Structure 1
């Protein structure tokens, strides 16, 4: 997996990602302490509201950013967003009212909702080899899991020698470090795209491509399974360990580490697995593992049993999330990658926006065992729907018909554009009226200007 770091541009991008992740992990801890200092008796409400604002920003901003990402140089855009995030986190130590937290959290996560999909869509342009790209996805998953494990430990150590306000400033420095790493390299120029007319058409384009692609409809159902399982683990671990089992904070940390350990184990093994297996069986097996882990919660496990459940849950979630980039890359034209990655970012966080409050409210008002049953049922139905939406024979190359027609748009000379020119059209990509004779042919099929519907 580490061989992919020999690629200089990707190595700098990966280090930028890790630097920003570490800083964000510190801010997560510092934000909880800030909420407690401003609203001592209502810190949970403040954090819950901030988390909801975060998800709303993710769902609403990502498609807009994806629609316009191809119109700006990637390096300038990513560096600008890093600088905005650094400015926002450095302002957090100076807030005096709760509403100021909400405003800054929205700005911070609006910038992240713009940064992350563009960053993710850049990597397949750098690592065009499928095997290298798969390793990069696993390495990225591993970085997220390590951050979840190590950031709380680092924050605890730092808080012994400094106040929590300093953690925000360290995150600001981390974002500046990320910006510096991005400045140090030349990123590929975005693929030329023919902008859809109208603001709404541009914003909705990635979502339309996503929902018209069967394998991605299956992915969306699996996103719901991941959210149901993840919400149970993130929201209710502390309640189950402390209230049901009567254990302390150290046991809570170990339980969280079990889920991270399962995810890390899969991230390490998956590149070899995906050399021999297609994504569909691996990802559906991940959905089944998460479903099993939730239903085993009906047995009211002890602490050791809970660690086993969370290990299975983390492994299943990683089986779904790690190959996601491969599916998105297979399912669009290069110029549509920012819009499609943004659609995945927005739709998957929409699932979390449903799962978080459902898990918290049901656990508090009905009971944890009943919550295991409810979220296990959601994961089961979601996995079954994924198997239904995602054809078992999901061929990349499909034979399909084209009706004859004429139109004008920006294009290269590919399998759909083999026509004569008069000499004024200019270099590719170029725009001029051209005719398509129609007929039947076979090639790697994606939803785009020439293919508005998936073939039957």
Structure 2
């Protein structure tokens, strides 16, 4: 896997990704602490709304930018977006009103929504060999898991020395370093696309392929299952740790690190596991497991709430702090096990020219799930007891799993028999076969706009 780092251009781009992710991780911790400083026990609502704004930017901006990215000078565009993000992050420590958080987060995440798909589309051109590109995808996923583990730990260490406002400077440094690394390499010229049609067709092609493919509709439901567990952690950690347990900033970072640690453990174990088990089985098992962890946490909190535990000292002695760390670790395991195999599904669900569009659809749709779960976690966390919030989110997770099972058949075959009523008998695609006996590994494309009802 690490052999692809010998490619100088990709090696520097991967380093740019890691540094920018570390800066973004510091931003996540600092933003939670800033929200608590401004809103107190209502921080979950503020953070949930801010993260919902982030998702709105991702879902709305990314497809539009993706339609025009090929027409822009890619290197200059990436550098410009990094500099814009750095400038916005530089303003965050000076925020004094909650509405200012919302405005700056929208601007910063709009720049990220423009940067990320363009960056992802660059990697296949830098590494044109399929095997190298697959390794790069695995490294990218590992980088996200490492960031989830490392950033909170780094934040915890820094918070022993500095005020949380200084964490934003780490975000600025990360974006500036990313810009410098992109500047240091020569990027391939964006390949011309053979696709025709207007802006609507180009921006919705990936979405149409995605929603027409049963396994990807199942993936969308599983994205929702993963988002429920992840949103509970990201939105409500600061509220549970500081508001309910009365602990400090360092403990907030430690709790987030436990979630990242669980995700990292799963990511390291999954490659070998996926050699023996099908993607579907692993992902469904992990999603059901997520729902069970949330249910167990709800039952534990209900028991604690019913035992007249009130003060921070008695709450800690009741085992809530170690219980929270263990729950976050277990949620990280399940979350990663649901998310990691998704790239394998996307790769085999589209031809090479359509894969960027399908990956972009996954980017937008998965973030649409977070757009629902982020504010829901914040609003419910501000109005209901924690045990009730965990119970509701467990129910949402299991409903999502049931929906995924309904739209993604367990006996799905790679090769499907289907008819082409609109093709002449001598069409090259049929290869001389009888139209009634035509069968091959099926993906949705121009010749196959719909999933066949007959399976061979």
Instruction: Provide TM-score, normalisation by structure 2.
Output: 0.81
Q: Distance in 2 between matches of 1:38 and 1:371?
A: 23
User: Residue 322 in 1 paired to residue 340 in 2?
Assistant: yes
User: Residue 295 in 1 paired to residue 295 in 2?
Assistant: yes
How far the C-alpha of 1:7 sits from its partner, in A, is 4.0
For residues 299 and 36 of structure 1, do their structure 2 counterparts lie closer, same or farther at Cα, with a shift above 3 Å needed?
A: closer
Please point out which of 379, 400, 411 is paired with 1:393. 411
1:421 is aligned to none
Q: Distance in 1 between matches of 2:159 and 2:165?
A: 10
Q: What is the SS of the residue equivalent to 2:419?
A: strand
2:446 is aligned to 449
- In terms of mean alpha carbon deviation, does 137-146 or 310-319 score higher? 137-146
User: Residue 148 in 1 paired to residue 148 in 2?
Assistant: yes
Note the alpha carbon deviations across 1:92-135, whole angstroms, 9 max, x for none.
Answer: 45667655543332221112112223333444555566765555
Q: What is the SS of the residue equivalent to 2:450?
A: coil
1:433 is aligned to none
Please point out which of 365, 378, 382 is paired with 2:383. 365
| Matched ranges for 1:90-105 at <5 A | 90-92=90-92, 99-105=99-105
The alignment yields a C-alpha RMSD, in angstroms, of: 3.5
For residues 67 and 164 of structure 1, do their structure 2 counterparts lie closer, same or farther at Cα, with a shift above 3 Å needed?
A: same
2:181 is aligned to 181
How far the C-alpha of 1:249 sits from its partner, in A, is 5.2
Q: Distance in 2 between matches of 1:307 and 1:43?
A: 20
1:355 is aligned to 373
Please say if residues 259 and 313 of structure 1, whose CA atoms lie closer than 8 Å, have aligned partners that are also in contact: yes
Please say if residues 41 and 243 of structure 2, whose CA atoms lie closer than 8 Å, have aligned partners that are also in contact: no
How far the C-alpha of 1:440 sits from its partner, in A, is 5.6
Q: What is the SS of the residue equivalent to 1:452?
A: coil
How far the C-alpha of 1:178 sits from its partner, in A, is 1.6
How far the C-alpha of 1:255 sits from its partner, in A, is 3.2
How far the C-alpha of 1:324 sits from its partner, in A, is 1.6
1:112 is aligned to 112
Any gaps of 5 or more consecutive residues in structure 2?
302-318
Q: Distance in 1 between matches of 2:391 and 2:34?
A: 35
Note the alpha carbon deviations across 1:71-102, whole angstroms, 9 max, x for none.
Answer: 44544443332233233334445667655543
For residues 159 and 13 of structure 1, do their structure 2 counterparts lie closer, same or farther at Cα, with a shift above 3 Å needed?
A: same
Please point out which of 352, 355, 362 is paired with 1:334. 352
Note the alpha carbon deviations across 1:294-323, whole angstroms, 9 max, x for none.
Answer: 111133163444433332221111111112
Any gaps of 5 or more consecutive residues in structure 1?
407-413, 419-436
Q: Distance in 1 between matches of 2:23 and 2:237?
A: 24
Q: Distance in 2 between matches of 1:287 and 1:360?
A: 22
Q: Distance in 2 between matches of 1:90 and 1:442?
A: 57
Please say if residues 54 and 105 of structure 1, whose CA atoms lie closer than 8 Å, have aligned partners that are also in contact: yes
For residues 84 and 306 of structure 1, do their structure 2 counterparts lie closer, same or farther at Cα, with a shift above 3 Å needed?
A: closer
Q: Distance in 1 between matches of 2:39 and 2:68?
A: 39
For residues 214 and 123 of structure 1, do their structure 2 counterparts lie closer, same or farther at Cα, with a shift above 3 Å needed?
A: farther
Instruction: Provide TM-score, normalisation by structure 1.
Output: 0.81
Q: Distance in 2 between matches of 1:121 and 1:396?
A: 27
Please say if residues 70 and 338 of structure 1, whose CA atoms lie closer than 8 Å, have aligned partners that are also in contact: no
Q: Distance in 1 between matches of 2:29 and 2:257?
A: 16
Note the alpha carbon deviations across 1:3-36, whole angstroms, 9 max, x for none.
Answer: 4433444322221110111122233344456667
Q: Distance in 1 between matches of 2:92 and 2:332?
A: 32
| Matched ranges for 1:57-456 at <5 A | 57-72=57-72, 74-92=74-92, 99-124=99-124, 135-155=135-155, 157-158=157-158, 167-190=167-190, 192-241=192-241, 250-300=250-300, 302-303=319-320, 304-404=322-422, 416=429, 441-456=438-453
